[in-house]
Structure 1
Amino acid sequence: MSLKRQISIIFENAHYFIVNKPPGTPSQPPDSRTWKRTHPDLDPTPLLENFKTLYSSDKQVESCRTVHRIDHCVTGGMLIAKTKDASAKFSRFLRKGGNNGYKLQRKYVAIVEQPSRLNETSNSDINYGPQYNSLISHDGKQITKFKKVDDQCIILQLVTGKKHQIRYHLSQILNQPILNDQKYGSTAKLPRAFKNQIALHSACITTKIGLQTKWHLIPMKYNNTGELWPRKYVSEEGEFISSIKDVLMENWD
């Protein structure tokens, strides 16, 4: 698959692009020495640099900026702001929330392992609610909303956006590490093709600019063989089943 097909544009308007990030691509420039030691087989070129190179001939990409990050092993939707002003307004919302800047919310789909009986879940870090539940850590500084589709599939929405937050919360609070996330305790044995990919996908990005709200669903098409992402959740075309899409489109405010 060509790189241009891998970093596909899902949506474009005057303010931003939504692109579908492949596994193994960093969303920010990594530390070169650490990256070469821990990921010797991966290109350290960040997503934005590849995106500008790929689309410079037919898109206005010179002023584009990323405003959020996802881990290199995570796939799915990333918003790329087209202008300095749009970048600043999305970043302001991510820092302050509320009615500040341009609203940007991200929902993820995760496939998780069953909890270990040797490490019972601590309910003190979970707030249960009628619409969604919350995972909370670091004295309330890290918060993730979530809803279970079933025991294997969980949909999550970031409230804060700290490094590895979803991966940490699922492993350390729910005691259900993401499938193939060996850094956080997964014991899955998958083929080498999945070495740089875990079962966590940025599946829905919601924006609000002025009075206009848009929902963007991002298909999971990378290494979509049915092994990492079972067919009962994702079709061969990368589309999530309707019950997952319904939850992704819910408003959890």
Structure 2
Amino acid sequence: MLPGPPRHAIARWPTKILYADKKLIVLNKAPGLVAQLESSRGCDLAGVLNAVKRDLNLANTPFPVHRLDKGTTGCLVLGTSSAAARDLSTQFRRRLVDKTYLALVRGGSRSFPGTRGEISTPLVSEDGRMRLASQDSGERESRTEWEVVASSPRLPLTLLRLQLHTGHKHQLRVHLAHVLKAPILGDTLYSQSPPTQEIQSSVVGDLQDSRILLHASRISLFRYSPRRMKIQVVAPLPDDFVRICSQIEIPLDAVDRTGGLFISSSSEEQDFTGVQEVPALEGRWFPQDGQ
């Protein structure tokens, strides 16, 4: 049984439900929320899960299926039961889940070896931190695809779209900081140097403690009801991310601002963003601000 929530937990962490059906729930995780259950009664995630149970009138408290770092925002997948969570976890383990992130990183347009690429450097854990390992070290594969979305004309900052093919701890943060030499804005753990004074005064000073500008933007997984379909949930960017991009003149796609829901079968993809009910999956899309 999950620990009961402290009274402040539900008020402190809004339960931004993006999508829910009889097996799957996707939340838009807030920055600062530790997406891991702890034994103490002060566990923030326990409070959020209990609030989701209440808001959706569920028989059971939902189960988290994966983790996001404390400072990361975006798509967080829950199962409505332990059996549903196991089924969803199997998709993650078999690498059937497509995970797309947006990251605001340090470095201008000339900092990158082209406009897109792939990083396959293995990672190894050492003293609680991840570091790069040699290709012949025997460490597990780590694959990250990256693409430049836009660079700021005002400051040496760039928005990257990332495809996470393997899900190792801090993989994106290490690959960006130590392979691309483009640390995520706000990431003091893996950055090898502090931001410039101009970036510090213009942008970083507005960020909360432990806040890194990394957003789990899109997640796609399979659902069966009764035929196989793939559902893609897009989590809208948080206000501080949008505000900073506006300040430094980096344009954002409309769907990245407001979120969206797309369902594809073997023959077509349908946009359910403006439709609250999804009868084929007995699901519901929860419109976000601006929709």
Give the TM-score of the pair, scaled to structure 2.
0.63
Change (3 A) 1:55 1:30: closer
Q: 1:55 aligns with which of 52, 56, 75?
A: 52
Tell me the equivalent position of 1:206.
220
8 Å contact kept, 1:179–1:228: no
How far off is 1:182 after superposition?
A: 1.3
Query: Does 2:83 match 1:66?
Result: no
How far off is 1:224 after superposition?
A: 4.6
**How large is the Cα RMSD of the aligned pairs?**
3.6
Query: Does 2:205 match 1:191?
Result: yes
Q: 1:170 aligns with which of 176, 200, 210?
A: 176
Q: Report the secondary structure of 1:112's partner residue.
A: strand
Gaps of at least 5 residues in structure 1 are 33-42, 98-102
Tell me the equivalent position of 1:90.
88
Query: Does 2:140 match 1:108?
Result: no
Tell me the equivalent position of 1:40.
none
Change (3 A) 1:192 1:61: farther
- Could you give the per-residue CA deviations for residues 110-153 of structure 1, whole angstroms, max 9, x where no partner exists? 011017x9xx98x8xxxx9x986344323452222222223511
How far off is 1:179 after superposition?
A: 0.8
How far off is 1:7 after superposition?
A: 2.6
Gaps of at least 5 residues in structure 2 are 1-9, 124-138, 152-157, 265-291
Tell me the equivalent position of 1:35.
none
AA aligned opposite 2:232:
W
Q: Report the secondary structure of 2:31's partner residue.
A: coil
Distance (whole Å) between structure 2 residues aligned to residue 52 and residue 241 of structure 1: 25
Tell me the equivalent position of 1:78.
76
Change (3 A) 1:93 1:194: same
Change (3 A) 1:149 1:31: farther
Distance (whole Å) between structure 1 residues aligned to residue 92 and residue 244 of structure 2: 34
How far off is 1:8 after superposition?
A: 0.5
- Could you give the per-residue CA deviations for residues 174-216 of structure 1, whole angstroms, max 9, x where no partner exists? 1100011111215252225422311100110111123111111
How far off is 1:170 after superposition?
A: 0.3
Change (3 A) 1:147 1:196: same
Give the structure with the higher percent strand: 2
Tell me the equivalent position of 1:220.
237
Alignment of 1:11-50 (within 5 A): 11-29=19-37, 45-47=43-45, 49-50=46-47
Change (3 A) 1:44 1:145: farther
AA aligned opposite 1:113:
R
Change (3 A) 1:87 1:4: same
Distance (whole Å) between structure 2 residues aligned to residue 146 and residue 134 of structure 1: 8
Q: 2:251 aligns with which of 222, 230, 233?
A: 233
AA aligned opposite 1:94:
F
- Could you give the per-residue CA deviations for residues 18-77 of structure 1, whole angstroms, max 9, x where no partner exists? 101111110113698xxxxxxxxxx96243x12223233342162411111110011111
Distance (whole Å) between structure 2 residues aligned to residue 154 and residue 192 of structure 1: 21
Distance (whole Å) between structure 1 residues aligned to residue 94 and residue 15 of structure 2: 30
Q: Report the secondary structure of 1:184's partner residue.
A: coil
8 Å contact kept, 1:29–1:44: no
Distance (whole Å) between structure 2 residues aligned to residue 168 and residue 221 of structure 1: 23
How far off is 1:87 after superposition?
A: 1.1
8 Å contact kept, 2:150–2:250: no
Distance (whole Å) between structure 2 residues aligned to residue 76 and residue 231 of structure 1: 22
Distance (whole Å) between structure 2 residues aligned to residue 146 and residue 69 of structure 1: 21
Change (3 A) 1:16 1:162: same
Distance (whole Å) between structure 2 residues aligned to residue 131 and residue 180 of structure 1: 23
Max Rg structure:
2
8 Å contact kept, 1:11–1:19: yes
